[in-house]
C-alpha cells in the first residue's frame, strides 16, 4: 500500500504503460484518475481497477488542449480534495527524418509529447501547492539519451521531456514538489503492436527490436510501472530531477 489514499492522475492511462501504471497504483491503495483521449479505453481500465478491488475514475482529456487539462485538474480537486501524484505518460511516436516529416506532423507530436507535459505540470503544480507538495513522473524514453534513426520528431520530443523534468525539479523543490522521469527501452504495448503491424516483414522487424536490447526481449508495461511507482512514492524521496532508465541494457552498450 505504497500509495495509500494518494490521489493520482495517470495520463494516457487507457493503454500500455499507462494502463499497467493505473492498475499498479490502484493495487497500492491510490485513487487513480485514468485520463485518456479515448474515453472507452479509460472506462475499461477503471473497470479493471475496480474488479481488483481498487479505486479509479475515468476522465476524457486531450493533454495537448489547455482547457481540457485545466478542467481535469479542477475536477480532480473538486471530487477528491487534492492532487498528490501526476504521471505524464500520454504520448506517441512517428517515423521519419527531418526531411520527411512535414510541419503539421511535427507540431501535432510536439503538442502531445511536450506541450501536454508542460500543461499538465502547470495546472497540477498549482493544485499540489495548495496541500504542501506532490510528485510528478514524466515518461521520457531512452531516445532522450541516445539517438535512433528515422524518428527525429519523437527523439526531439523526449529530449525535451527529460530537460523539462530537470528544470521543473529545480523550480519547485522548495515547494515540496518532486519531478522525475522514467526512460523506458522498447516495451511491448499496443503502440508497438501497431508499429510492427505496419512493417513489411513483421517477424524480422520484431526480431530487430528484440535484438537491440541486450536482454533479448521487449520489456513489459508492468516492468516500467514498477519504476514509475518507485518515483511516485516516498521510497524515492531523495530523487529530484532523476531520469531513471529501464531498458533491458539498451543504453549500457
Ligand X SMILES: NC(=O)c1ccc[n+]([C@@H]2O[C@H](COP(=O)([O-])OP(=O)(O)OC[C@H]3O[C@@H](n4cnc5c(N)ncnc54)[C@H](O)[C@@H]3O)[C@@H](O)[C@H]2O)c1
Catalytically active residues are: 154
Of 27 and 195, CB closest to ligand X: 195
Q: Does 14 bind ligand X (CB under 6 A)?
A: yes
Q: Does 181 bind ligand X (CB under 6 A)?
A: no
Q: From the CB of 176, what's the least distance to ligand X, in Å?
A: 26
φ, ψ for residue 184 (rounded to 5)? -80, 155
Q: How many residues belong to the chain?
A: 253
Q: Does 152 bind ligand X (CB under 6 A)?
A: no
61: closest CA among 10, 129, 8? 10
Q: Does 126 bind ligand X (CB under 6 A)?
A: no
Site string for ligand X, 50-69 (x = CB under 6 A): -----------xxxx-----
Q: From the CB of 135, what's the least distance to ligand X, in Å?
A: 18
165 and 107 Cβ atoms separated by less than 8 Å: no
Residues ≥6 apart with Cβ < 8 Å to 215: 248, 249
Q: Which of 70, 192, 210, 251 binds ligand X (CB under 6 A)?
A: 192
Q: Does 213 bind ligand X (CB under 6 A)?
A: no
Q: Does 184 bind ligand X (CB under 6 A)?
A: yes
Q: From the CB of 157, what's the least distance to ligand X, in Å?
A: 8
Q: Does 90 bind ligand X (CB under 6 A)?
A: yes
Of 130 and 198, CB closest to ligand X: 198
Question: Which residue minimizes CB distance to ligand X?
Answer: 16
Largest CA distance in the chain: 53
Residues ≥6 apart with Cβ < 8 Å to 37: 12, 60, 61, 62, 63, 90
Of 54 and 116, CB closest to ligand X: 116
Q: Does 33 bind ligand X (CB under 6 A)?
A: no
Q: Does 17 bind ligand X (CB under 6 A)?
A: yes
Query: What are the cell numbers at 234?
Result: 516516498
Q: What is the 3-state secondary structure (H, E, C) of 158-204?
A: HHHHHHHHHHHHHHHHHHCEEEEEEEECCECCHHHHHHHHHCCCHHH
Q: Hey, what long-range contacts does 208-215 have (CB within 8 A, 24 or more apart)? A: 212/186, 212/250, 213/185, 213/186, 213/247, 213/248, 213/249, 213/250, 214/248, 214/249, 214/250, 214/252, 214/253, 215/248, 215/249
Q: Which of 22, 87, 91, 160 binds ligand X (CB under 6 A)?
A: 91
Of 31 and 189, CB closest to ligand X: 189
Applying CB under 6 A, which residues contact ligand X? 11-12, 14-18, 36-38, 41, 61-64, 89-93, 112, 116, 139, 141, 184, 186-187, 189-192
Amino acid at each position: 500500500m505504497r500509495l495509500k489514499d494518494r490521489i493520482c492522475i495517470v495520463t494516457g492511462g487507457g493503454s500500455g504503460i499507462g494502463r499497467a501504471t493505473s492498475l499498479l497504483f490502484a493495487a497500492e491503495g491510490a485513487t487513480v484518475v485514468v485520463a485518456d483521449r479515448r474515453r472507452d479505453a479509460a472506462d475499461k481500465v477503471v473497470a479493471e481497477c475496480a474488479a481488483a478491488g481498487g479505486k479509479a475514475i475515468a476522465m476524457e482529456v486531450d493533454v495537448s488542449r489547455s482547457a481540457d487539462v485545466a478542467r481535469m485538474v479542477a475536477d480532480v480537486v473538486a471530487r477528491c480534495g487534492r492532487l498528490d501524484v501526476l504521471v505524464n505518460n500520454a504520448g506517441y511516436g512517428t517515423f521519419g527524418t527531418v526531411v520527411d516529416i512535414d510541419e503539421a506532423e511535427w507540431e501535432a507530436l510536439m503538442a502531445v509529447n511536450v506541450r501536454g507535459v508542460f500543461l499538465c505540470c502547470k495546472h497540477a503544480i498549482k493544485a499540489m501547492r495548495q496541500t504542501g507538495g506532490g510528485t510528478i513522473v514524466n515518461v521520457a524514453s531512452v531516445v532522450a539519451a541516445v539517438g535512433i534513426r528515422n524518428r527525429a520528431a519523437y527523439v526531439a520530443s523526449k529530449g525535451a521531456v527529460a530537460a523539462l523534468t530537470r528544470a521543473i525539479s529545480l523550480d519547485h523543490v522548495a515547494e515540496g514538489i518532486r519531478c522525475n522521469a522514467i526512460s523506458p527501452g522498447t516495451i511491448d504495448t499496443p503502440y508497438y503492436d501497431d508499429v510492427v503491424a505496419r512493417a513489411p516483414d513483421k517477424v524480422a522487424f520484431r526480431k530487430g527490436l528484440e535484438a537491440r536490447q541486450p536482454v533479448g526481449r521487449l520489456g513489459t508495461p508492468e516492468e516500467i510501472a514498477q519504476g514509475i511507482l518507485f518515483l511516485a512514492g516516498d521510497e524515492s524521496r531523495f530523487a529530484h530531477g532523476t531520469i531513471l532508465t529501464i531498458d533491458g541494457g539498451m543504453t549500457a552498450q
